[in-house]
A and B are shown apart, each in its own frame.
Chain A
Amino acid sequence: MRNILLIFRKDFLVEWRSKQIFPTMFVFSLLLLLVFNVAFEFRSDVDSRAVSAVIWITFIFSGLLALGRSFSLEKENNAFAFLLLTPVSRSYIYLGKLLSNTVMVLLSELFILPLFLLFFLFDADGASLSFTGTILPFLGVMVLGTIGFVSLGTFFSSMALNTKLRDMMLPLLVFPLIIPVVITSVGICSSILEGRPPDYYAFSLQVLVSFDIIFILLCSILFEYLIEDSGD
Protein backbone atom coordinates (compact mmCIF):
# COMPACT_ATOMS: atom_id res chain seq x y z
CA MET A 1 0.00 0.00 0.00
CA ARG A 2 2.83 2.35 0.87
CA ASN A 3 4.48 1.56 -2.46
CA ILE A 4 1.28 2.25 -4.39
CA LEU A 5 1.04 5.65 -2.73
CA LEU A 6 4.70 6.39 -3.45
CA ILE A 7 4.20 5.69 -7.14
CA PHE A 8 0.96 7.61 -7.10
CA ARG A 9 2.70 10.62 -5.56
CA LYS A 10 5.57 10.50 -8.06
CA ASP A 11 3.28 10.05 -11.08
CA PHE A 12 1.01 12.78 -9.89
CA LEU A 13 3.93 15.15 -9.33
CA VAL A 14 5.45 14.42 -12.74
CA GLU A 15 2.06 14.78 -14.37
CA TRP A 16 1.30 17.97 -12.48
CA ARG A 17 4.57 19.58 -13.51
CA SER A 18 4.51 18.50 -17.12
CA LYS A 19 0.80 19.26 -17.46
CA GLN A 20 -0.08 16.70 -20.09
CA ILE A 21 -3.46 15.32 -19.17
CA PHE A 22 -5.32 18.40 -18.05
CA PRO A 23 -4.77 20.80 -20.98
CA THR A 24 -5.08 18.01 -23.54
CA MET A 25 -8.37 16.85 -22.10
CA PHE A 26 -9.74 20.31 -21.54
CA VAL A 27 -9.05 21.71 -24.99
CA PHE A 28 -10.09 18.55 -26.75
CA SER A 29 -13.31 18.44 -24.75
CA LEU A 30 -14.13 22.02 -25.62
CA LEU A 31 -13.66 21.21 -29.28
CA LEU A 32 -15.88 18.15 -29.06
CA LEU A 33 -18.44 20.21 -27.21
CA LEU A 34 -18.46 22.71 -30.03
CA VAL A 35 -18.77 19.98 -32.64
CA PHE A 36 -21.67 18.35 -30.83
CA ASN A 37 -23.43 21.69 -30.44
CA VAL A 38 -23.10 22.38 -34.12
CA ALA A 39 -24.32 18.87 -34.91
CA PHE A 40 -27.38 19.39 -32.70
CA GLU A 41 -27.97 22.75 -34.37
CA PHE A 42 -27.46 24.64 -31.11
CA ARG A 43 -30.71 23.36 -29.73
CA SER A 44 -30.99 22.97 -26.02
CA ASP A 45 -34.00 20.67 -26.00
CA VAL A 46 -31.87 17.58 -26.62
CA ASP A 47 -33.09 14.59 -24.63
CA SER A 48 -31.21 13.25 -21.62
CA ARG A 49 -30.04 10.10 -23.38
CA ALA A 50 -28.24 12.16 -26.02
CA VAL A 51 -26.74 14.49 -23.42
CA SER A 52 -25.39 11.56 -21.42
CA ALA A 53 -23.98 10.01 -24.57
CA VAL A 54 -22.30 13.28 -25.55
CA ILE A 55 -20.78 13.70 -22.10
CA TRP A 56 -19.37 10.17 -21.99
CA ILE A 57 -18.09 10.19 -25.55
CA THR A 58 -16.28 13.42 -24.73
CA PHE A 59 -14.85 12.06 -21.48
CA ILE A 60 -13.65 8.83 -23.04
CA PHE A 61 -12.19 10.30 -26.24
CA SER A 62 -10.38 13.14 -24.52
CA GLY A 63 -9.35 10.92 -21.60
CA LEU A 64 -7.73 8.28 -23.79
CA LEU A 65 -5.96 10.92 -25.84
CA ALA A 66 -4.52 12.42 -22.67
CA LEU A 67 -3.49 9.02 -21.27
CA GLY A 68 -1.60 8.24 -24.44
CA ARG A 69 0.35 11.47 -24.17
CA SER A 70 0.95 11.03 -20.48
CA PHE A 71 2.59 7.66 -20.85
CA SER A 72 4.96 8.87 -23.53
CA LEU A 73 6.50 11.05 -20.78
CA GLU A 74 7.39 7.97 -18.81
CA LYS A 75 9.20 6.55 -21.81
CA GLU A 76 11.31 9.66 -22.17
CA ASN A 77 14.78 9.06 -20.83
CA ASN A 78 13.81 5.49 -19.95
CA ALA A 79 13.05 6.51 -16.37
CA PHE A 80 10.40 3.80 -16.41
CA ALA A 81 13.07 1.20 -17.14
CA PHE A 82 14.92 2.18 -13.99
CA LEU A 83 11.79 1.82 -11.93
CA LEU A 84 11.60 -1.74 -13.23
CA LEU A 85 15.02 -2.44 -11.74
CA THR A 86 13.80 -1.77 -8.23
CA PRO A 87 12.31 -4.65 -6.28
CA VAL A 88 8.84 -3.10 -6.28
CA SER A 89 6.00 -5.36 -7.35
CA ARG A 90 4.86 -4.66 -10.89
CA SER A 91 1.21 -4.69 -9.84
CA TYR A 92 1.92 -1.74 -7.53
CA ILE A 93 3.44 0.20 -10.41
CA TYR A 94 0.22 -0.33 -12.34
CA LEU A 95 -2.03 0.51 -9.40
CA GLY A 96 -0.09 3.68 -8.54
CA LYS A 97 -0.24 4.81 -12.12
CA LEU A 98 -3.93 3.98 -12.32
CA LEU A 99 -4.62 6.02 -9.21
CA SER A 100 -2.71 9.02 -10.49
CA ASN A 101 -4.31 8.86 -13.94
CA THR A 102 -7.79 8.49 -12.46
CA VAL A 103 -7.34 11.52 -10.25
CA MET A 104 -6.00 13.64 -13.12
CA VAL A 105 -8.75 12.58 -15.52
CA LEU A 106 -11.43 13.12 -12.87
CA LEU A 107 -10.12 16.61 -12.11
CA SER A 108 -10.27 17.48 -15.80
CA GLU A 109 -13.78 16.09 -16.04
CA LEU A 110 -14.85 18.22 -13.10
CA PHE A 111 -13.84 21.31 -15.03
CA ILE A 112 -15.55 20.18 -18.20
CA LEU A 113 -18.81 19.06 -16.65
CA PRO A 114 -20.20 22.50 -15.72
CA LEU A 115 -19.75 23.64 -19.31
CA PHE A 116 -21.82 20.73 -20.49
CA LEU A 117 -24.53 21.43 -18.01
CA LEU A 118 -24.48 25.05 -19.09
CA PHE A 119 -24.73 24.32 -22.79
CA PHE A 120 -27.05 21.37 -22.77
CA LEU A 121 -29.10 21.15 -19.66
CA PHE A 122 -30.07 24.42 -18.09
CA ASP A 123 -32.65 25.23 -20.72
CA ALA A 124 -33.82 21.68 -21.19
CA ASP A 125 -37.46 20.98 -20.50
CA GLY A 126 -38.11 19.54 -17.11
CA ALA A 127 -34.46 19.23 -16.17
CA SER A 128 -34.40 19.98 -12.54
CA LEU A 129 -30.97 19.81 -11.01
CA SER A 130 -30.98 19.13 -7.31
CA PHE A 131 -27.73 18.55 -5.49
CA THR A 132 -28.53 15.30 -3.72
CA GLY A 133 -30.92 13.99 -6.36
CA THR A 134 -28.91 14.64 -9.51
CA ILE A 135 -25.44 16.06 -9.03
CA LEU A 136 -24.23 13.69 -6.32
CA PRO A 137 -25.29 10.43 -8.03
CA PHE A 138 -24.02 11.84 -11.31
CA LEU A 139 -20.58 12.45 -9.80
CA GLY A 140 -20.62 8.95 -8.34
CA VAL A 141 -21.21 7.41 -11.76
CA MET A 142 -18.55 9.68 -13.18
CA VAL A 143 -16.01 8.25 -10.74
CA LEU A 144 -16.99 4.63 -11.42
CA GLY A 145 -17.12 5.04 -15.19
CA THR A 146 -13.81 6.89 -15.22
CA ILE A 147 -12.12 4.18 -13.18
CA GLY A 148 -13.49 1.71 -15.71
CA PHE A 149 -12.04 3.26 -18.83
CA VAL A 150 -8.86 4.56 -17.19
CA SER A 151 -8.04 1.07 -15.85
CA LEU A 152 -7.85 -0.34 -19.36
CA GLY A 153 -6.56 2.95 -20.81
CA THR A 154 -3.60 3.02 -18.41
CA PHE A 155 -2.83 -0.61 -19.10
CA PHE A 156 -2.97 -0.37 -22.87
CA SER A 157 -1.25 2.99 -23.17
CA SER A 158 1.95 1.28 -22.09
CA MET A 159 1.35 -1.40 -24.68
CA ALA A 160 0.34 0.90 -27.53
CA LEU A 161 3.43 3.07 -27.21
CA ASN A 162 5.66 0.06 -27.74
CA THR A 163 3.94 -0.99 -30.95
CA LYS A 164 4.72 0.26 -34.43
CA LEU A 165 1.37 2.02 -34.70
CA ARG A 166 1.94 3.80 -31.38
CA ASP A 167 -0.83 6.27 -30.50
CA MET A 168 -3.13 4.92 -33.20
CA MET A 169 -3.22 1.60 -31.42
CA LEU A 170 -4.63 2.83 -28.09
CA PRO A 171 -8.22 3.63 -29.11
CA LEU A 172 -8.27 0.52 -31.27
CA LEU A 173 -7.40 -1.65 -28.29
CA VAL A 174 -9.49 0.10 -25.68
CA PHE A 175 -12.78 1.08 -27.36
CA PRO A 176 -14.16 -2.39 -28.04
CA LEU A 177 -13.21 -3.50 -24.53
CA ILE A 178 -14.92 -0.66 -22.69
CA ILE A 179 -18.30 -1.09 -24.38
CA PRO A 180 -19.81 -2.21 -21.03
CA VAL A 181 -18.62 1.02 -19.41
CA VAL A 182 -20.21 3.05 -22.19
CA ILE A 183 -23.51 1.19 -22.06
CA THR A 184 -23.86 1.32 -18.28
CA SER A 185 -22.50 4.84 -17.66
CA VAL A 186 -24.61 6.45 -20.35
CA GLY A 187 -27.66 4.48 -19.22
CA ILE A 188 -27.28 5.40 -15.58
CA CYS A 189 -26.58 9.07 -16.32
CA SER A 190 -29.63 9.45 -18.49
CA SER A 191 -31.75 7.72 -15.82
CA ILE A 192 -30.42 10.17 -13.27
CA LEU A 193 -31.13 13.16 -15.49
CA GLU A 194 -34.65 11.87 -16.02
CA GLY A 195 -35.04 11.82 -12.27
CA ARG A 196 -35.53 8.08 -11.89
CA PRO A 197 -35.09 6.36 -8.50
CA PRO A 198 -31.87 4.39 -7.87
CA ASP A 199 -33.74 1.06 -8.11
CA TYR A 200 -34.21 1.74 -11.79
CA TYR A 201 -30.50 1.62 -12.58
CA ALA A 202 -29.26 -0.61 -9.75
CA PHE A 203 -28.42 -3.46 -12.11
CA SER A 204 -26.38 -1.23 -14.42
CA LEU A 205 -24.53 0.03 -11.40
CA GLN A 206 -23.70 -3.54 -10.37
CA VAL A 207 -22.37 -4.30 -13.84
CA LEU A 208 -20.26 -1.13 -13.82
CA VAL A 209 -18.76 -1.89 -10.40
CA SER A 210 -18.06 -5.49 -11.45
CA PHE A 211 -16.33 -4.24 -14.58
CA ASP A 212 -14.08 -1.98 -12.52
CA ILE A 213 -13.14 -4.73 -10.09
CA ILE A 214 -12.60 -7.41 -12.72
CA PHE A 215 -10.36 -5.30 -14.92
CA ILE A 216 -8.33 -3.66 -12.17
CA LEU A 217 -7.54 -7.15 -10.86
CA LEU A 218 -6.86 -8.64 -14.29
CA CYS A 219 -4.70 -5.73 -15.42
CA SER A 220 -2.63 -5.67 -12.24
CA ILE A 221 -1.92 -9.38 -12.68
CA LEU A 222 -1.10 -9.08 -16.38
CA PHE A 223 0.96 -5.88 -16.04
CA GLU A 224 4.02 -7.90 -15.13
CA TYR A 225 3.79 -9.81 -18.41
CA LEU A 226 3.09 -6.60 -20.30
CA ILE A 227 6.24 -4.80 -19.24
CA GLU A 228 8.42 -7.90 -19.06
CA ASP A 229 10.96 -7.30 -21.77
CA SER A 230 11.65 -10.21 -24.03
CA GLY A 231 14.14 -8.03 -25.83
CA ASP A 232 12.57 -7.75 -29.27
Chain B
Amino acid sequence: MRKILFFLTFALMVLATWMTLFYAPTEVVMGHVQRIFYFHMGTVWAATVAFTVVFVASIYYLVKETAKWDTLAYCSAEIGMLLLTLTIITGSIWAKPVWGTWWTWDPQLTTTFILWVLYAVYLVLRSGAGGRGKKARYSAIFAIIAYVDLPVVYVSARIKRGISPVVFGPGGGGIDPAMMHTLLVTLLGFTLLFVLLLGERTRIMNMENQLYARGGRVG
Protein backbone atom coordinates (compact mmCIF):
# COMPACT_ATOMS: atom_id res chain seq x y z
CA MET B 1 0.00 0.00 0.00
CA ARG B 2 2.78 2.42 0.95
CA LYS B 3 4.68 1.45 -2.20
CA ILE B 4 1.67 1.99 -4.44
CA LEU B 5 1.05 5.40 -2.91
CA PHE B 6 4.70 6.33 -3.31
CA PHE B 7 4.86 5.43 -7.00
CA LEU B 8 1.51 7.03 -7.72
CA THR B 9 2.62 10.28 -6.08
CA PHE B 10 5.94 10.15 -7.87
CA ALA B 11 4.29 9.61 -11.25
CA LEU B 12 1.75 12.37 -10.68
CA MET B 13 4.36 14.89 -9.57
CA VAL B 14 6.49 14.15 -12.63
CA LEU B 15 3.42 14.49 -14.83
CA ALA B 16 2.46 17.75 -13.07
CA THR B 17 5.94 19.15 -13.60
CA TRP B 18 5.88 18.20 -17.26
CA MET B 19 2.42 19.67 -17.78
CA THR B 20 3.38 22.87 -15.98
CA LEU B 21 6.47 23.37 -18.09
CA PHE B 22 5.41 22.07 -21.50
CA TYR B 23 1.72 21.19 -21.73
CA ALA B 24 0.11 24.35 -20.35
CA PRO B 25 0.09 27.27 -22.79
CA THR B 26 1.99 30.43 -21.95
CA GLU B 27 -0.22 33.03 -20.33
CA VAL B 28 -0.67 36.05 -22.60
CA VAL B 29 -0.12 38.89 -20.13
CA MET B 30 2.16 37.45 -17.45
CA GLY B 31 4.25 35.20 -19.63
CA HIS B 32 6.23 32.21 -18.42
CA VAL B 33 6.31 33.33 -14.80
CA GLN B 34 2.64 32.43 -14.54
CA ARG B 35 3.64 28.75 -14.68
CA ILE B 36 4.82 28.88 -11.08
CA PHE B 37 1.21 29.53 -10.18
CA TYR B 38 0.34 25.84 -10.59
CA PHE B 39 2.76 24.85 -7.86
CA HIS B 40 1.70 27.86 -5.83
CA MET B 41 -1.89 26.65 -5.96
CA GLY B 42 -0.80 23.08 -5.32
CA THR B 43 1.05 23.92 -2.13
CA VAL B 44 -1.56 26.30 -0.76
CA TRP B 45 -4.27 23.72 -1.42
CA ALA B 46 -2.31 20.94 0.30
CA ALA B 47 -1.51 23.30 3.20
CA THR B 48 -5.21 24.03 3.60
CA VAL B 49 -5.92 20.31 3.67
CA ALA B 50 -3.13 19.87 6.22
CA PHE B 51 -4.47 22.52 8.60
CA THR B 52 -7.99 21.15 8.26
CA VAL B 53 -6.60 17.76 9.27
CA VAL B 54 -4.97 19.47 12.30
CA PHE B 55 -8.32 21.02 13.22
CA VAL B 56 -10.32 17.81 12.94
CA ALA B 57 -7.66 15.70 14.66
CA SER B 58 -7.51 18.25 17.50
CA ILE B 59 -11.26 18.04 18.10
CA TYR B 60 -11.02 14.24 18.10
CA TYR B 61 -8.12 14.42 20.53
CA LEU B 62 -10.05 16.57 23.01
CA VAL B 63 -13.02 14.23 22.89
CA LYS B 64 -11.24 10.86 22.79
CA GLU B 65 -7.89 11.70 24.37
CA THR B 66 -6.07 9.02 22.43
CA ALA B 67 -2.48 9.76 21.50
CA LYS B 68 -2.89 8.85 17.84
CA TRP B 69 -5.03 11.93 17.16
CA ASP B 70 -2.42 14.14 18.76
CA THR B 71 0.33 12.56 16.68
CA LEU B 72 -1.75 13.03 13.54
CA ALA B 73 -2.40 16.70 14.35
CA TYR B 74 1.24 17.40 15.09
CA CYS B 75 2.58 15.68 11.97
CA SER B 76 0.00 17.37 9.79
CA ALA B 77 0.87 20.79 11.24
CA GLU B 78 4.55 20.24 10.48
CA ILE B 79 3.90 19.32 6.87
CA GLY B 80 1.39 22.17 6.59
CA MET B 81 4.06 24.62 7.71
CA LEU B 82 6.45 23.30 5.06
CA LEU B 83 3.82 23.57 2.33
CA LEU B 84 2.74 27.03 3.43
CA THR B 85 6.33 28.25 3.43
CA LEU B 86 6.62 26.99 -0.16
CA THR B 87 3.37 28.80 -0.96
CA ILE B 88 4.75 32.09 0.30
CA ILE B 89 8.05 31.63 -1.57
CA THR B 90 6.43 30.68 -4.88
CA GLY B 91 3.91 33.49 -4.43
CA SER B 92 6.66 36.03 -3.92
CA ILE B 93 8.56 34.83 -6.98
CA TRP B 94 5.35 35.21 -8.98
CA ALA B 95 4.45 38.58 -7.47
CA LYS B 96 7.77 40.34 -8.11
CA PRO B 97 7.49 40.59 -11.92
CA VAL B 98 3.68 40.73 -12.00
CA TRP B 99 2.92 43.18 -9.19
CA GLY B 100 6.36 44.71 -9.06
CA THR B 101 6.86 43.78 -5.40
CA TRP B 102 7.82 40.68 -3.41
CA TRP B 103 5.21 41.34 -0.80
CA THR B 104 2.14 43.44 -0.22
CA TRP B 105 -0.42 43.51 2.59
CA ASP B 106 -3.46 42.55 0.63
CA PRO B 107 -6.11 40.40 2.40
CA GLN B 108 -4.98 37.05 1.02
CA LEU B 109 -1.33 37.68 1.79
CA THR B 110 -2.11 39.05 5.23
CA THR B 111 -4.22 36.01 6.02
CA THR B 112 -1.54 33.66 4.69
CA PHE B 113 1.08 35.40 6.78
CA ILE B 114 -1.04 35.18 9.95
CA LEU B 115 -1.80 31.55 9.15
CA TRP B 116 1.93 30.93 9.01
CA VAL B 117 2.50 32.76 12.31
CA LEU B 118 -0.35 30.89 14.03
CA TYR B 119 1.05 27.48 13.19
CA ALA B 120 4.55 28.63 14.07
CA VAL B 121 3.13 29.50 17.50
CA TYR B 122 1.44 26.09 17.53
CA LEU B 123 4.84 24.43 17.10
CA VAL B 124 6.41 26.69 19.75
CA LEU B 125 3.58 25.84 22.14
CA ARG B 126 4.26 22.16 21.60
CA SER B 127 7.92 22.52 22.40
CA GLY B 128 7.28 24.70 25.44
CA ALA B 129 4.14 23.28 27.04
CA GLY B 130 5.59 20.69 29.40
CA GLY B 131 4.29 17.15 29.95
CA ARG B 132 2.95 15.00 27.19
CA GLY B 133 -0.72 15.14 28.05
CA LYS B 134 -0.63 18.87 28.66
CA LYS B 135 1.21 19.49 25.41
CA ALA B 136 -1.34 17.53 23.43
CA ARG B 137 -4.32 19.16 25.11
CA TYR B 138 -3.07 22.74 24.92
CA SER B 139 -1.97 22.51 21.33
CA ALA B 140 -5.28 20.90 20.35
CA ILE B 141 -7.16 23.79 21.97
CA PHE B 142 -4.94 26.36 20.27
CA ALA B 143 -5.34 24.65 16.89
CA ILE B 144 -9.13 24.77 17.17
CA ILE B 145 -9.19 28.45 18.11
CA ALA B 146 -6.65 29.32 15.40
CA TYR B 147 -8.66 27.55 12.73
CA VAL B 148 -11.83 29.40 13.72
CA ASP B 149 -9.88 32.65 13.87
CA LEU B 150 -8.71 32.51 10.26
CA PRO B 151 -11.94 33.38 8.45
CA VAL B 152 -12.38 36.32 10.84
CA VAL B 153 -8.85 37.47 10.05
CA TYR B 154 -9.62 37.21 6.35
CA VAL B 155 -12.86 39.19 6.64
CA SER B 156 -11.24 41.90 8.75
CA ALA B 157 -8.27 42.12 6.39
CA ARG B 158 -10.70 42.72 3.54
CA ILE B 159 -11.95 45.90 5.17
CA LYS B 160 -9.02 47.54 3.52
CA ARG B 161 -9.69 46.84 -0.13
CA GLY B 162 -7.21 44.39 -1.59
CA ILE B 163 -5.50 44.27 -4.96
CA SER B 164 -5.20 40.50 -5.30
CA PRO B 165 -6.74 39.49 -8.63
CA VAL B 166 -8.98 36.47 -8.67
CA VAL B 167 -7.01 34.34 -11.06
CA PHE B 168 -9.01 31.18 -11.49
CA GLY B 169 -12.34 32.09 -9.96
CA PRO B 170 -15.36 33.75 -11.53
CA GLY B 171 -14.39 37.08 -13.02
CA GLY B 172 -10.94 35.71 -13.78
CA GLY B 173 -11.94 35.52 -17.40
CA GLY B 174 -11.94 32.45 -19.60
CA ILE B 175 -9.40 29.79 -18.80
CA ASP B 176 -7.74 27.56 -21.32
CA PRO B 177 -8.76 23.87 -20.84
CA ALA B 178 -5.08 22.92 -20.94
CA MET B 179 -4.43 25.24 -18.02
CA MET B 180 -7.31 23.69 -16.13
CA HIS B 181 -5.98 20.18 -16.74
CA THR B 182 -2.56 21.19 -15.52
CA LEU B 183 -4.02 22.78 -12.41
CA LEU B 184 -6.14 19.74 -11.57
CA VAL B 185 -3.25 17.32 -12.01
CA THR B 186 -1.04 19.54 -9.83
CA LEU B 187 -3.66 19.78 -7.09
CA LEU B 188 -4.13 16.00 -7.11
CA GLY B 189 -0.36 15.50 -7.08
CA PHE B 190 0.15 17.72 -4.08
CA THR B 191 -2.77 16.14 -2.24
CA LEU B 192 -1.19 12.72 -2.69
CA LEU B 193 2.21 14.11 -1.71
CA PHE B 194 0.66 15.41 1.50
CA VAL B 195 -0.98 12.08 2.27
CA LEU B 196 2.30 10.28 1.60
CA LEU B 197 4.32 12.62 3.81
CA LEU B 198 1.72 12.49 6.56
CA GLY B 199 1.73 8.69 6.54
CA GLU B 200 5.52 8.53 6.72
CA ARG B 201 5.81 11.24 9.38
CA THR B 202 3.20 9.60 11.63
CA ARG B 203 4.97 6.27 11.22
CA ILE B 204 8.28 7.77 12.34
CA MET B 205 6.58 9.63 15.18
CA ASN B 206 4.95 6.43 16.43
CA MET B 207 8.30 4.68 16.36
CA GLU B 208 9.83 7.53 18.37
CA ASN B 209 7.05 7.24 20.91
CA GLN B 210 7.54 3.49 21.22
CA LEU B 211 11.25 3.96 21.75
CA TYR B 212 10.59 6.64 24.32
CA ALA B 213 8.10 4.42 26.14
CA ARG B 214 10.78 1.74 26.37
CA GLY B 215 13.01 4.22 28.13
CA GLY B 216 15.23 5.11 25.21
CA ARG B 217 15.93 8.73 24.51
CA VAL B 218 15.05 10.35 21.24
CA GLY B 219 16.42 13.56 19.81
Contacts and interface: CB of A to CB of B under 8 A. Distances in A.
A173 B117 CA distance: 10
B117 A218 contact: no
Interface stretch (A18-26, A67-75, A92-100, A158-166): A158-166
Interface stretch (B25-33, B134-142, B194-202): B134-142
A71 B130 CA distance: 19
Contacts of A230: 65, 131, 133-134, 137
A34 interface: no
Contacts of B129: 162-164
A164 B130 contact: yes
Interface residues of A, number: 32
Contacts of B214: none
A207 B148 contact: no
Contact of B128 (A163, A180, A232): A163
Given A164-B130, A179-B114, A232-B133, A173 B121 contact: yes
Given A207-B155, A230-B65, A232-B132, A225 B148 contact: no
B159 interface: yes
B117 A176 contact: yes
A151 to B, nearest CB: 11
B95 interface: no
B134 A162 contact: yes
Given A172-B124, A176-B114, A180-B156, A222 B144 contact: yes
Given A162-B130, A176-B114, A177-B118, A187 B159 contact: yes
A164 B157 contact: no
B125 A163 contact: yes
B133 A210 contact: no
B152 A173 contact: no
Contacts of A215: 145, 148-149
Interface in A161-187: 162-165, 169, 172-173, 176-177, 179-180, 183-184, 187
Contacts of B125: 163, 169, 172-173
B44 interface: no
Contacts of A169: 125, 128
A88 B152 CA distance: 32
27 contacts: A163-B138, A164-B128, A165-B128, A169-B125, A169-B128, A172-B124, A176-B118, A179-B157, A183-B159, A183-B160, A207-B155, A207-B156, A207-B159, A211-B152, A211-B156, A214-B148, A218-B148, A219-B145, A222-B62, A222-B141, A226-B137, A228-B137, A230-B65, A230-B133, A230-B137, A232-B131, A232-B134
Interface of A: 152, 159, 162-165, 169, 172-173, 176-177, 179-180, 183-184, 187, 203-204, 207, 210-211, 214-215, 218-219, 222, 225-226, 228, 230-232
**Ranked 6 nearest A-B pairs via Cβ:** A232-B131, A230-B133, A180-B156, A165-B128, A183-B156, A176-B117
